[in-house]
Amino acid sequence: MGIKERLEAPTPKLFRILRTVGMTLAAVGGAVLTAPVALPAMVISVAGYLTLFGAVLGGVSQVTVSGEE
């Protein structure tokens, strides 16, 4: 099964929820990274990891499919 077929195939409910959570985490992390105020280095570091984790979680959840080949 190619990547195009995986993206178009139905996604299980659990992974749809995880995809939404991942994209939300990525959005929150991105918002903190682009905040126009000076933030401590620790907060910026955590926001970077939060963005990365959210993007990976969303991407992996998107290509997970239900059913057998």
pTM score of the predicted model: 0.78
Report the chain's terminal Cα–Cα distance, integer Å.
8
Q: What is the mean pLDDT of the chain?
A: 88
Which pLDDT value is given to residue 68?
62
Task: Choose the weakest-confidence range: 3-7, 40-44, 53-57, 60-64.
Answer: 3-7
Is the pLDDT at 48 greater than 90? The verdict is yes
How is residue 56 written in tokens? 């990976």
Q: What is the identity of the amino acid at 43?
A: V
Q: How confident is the model over 6-23, as a mean pLDDT?
A: 88
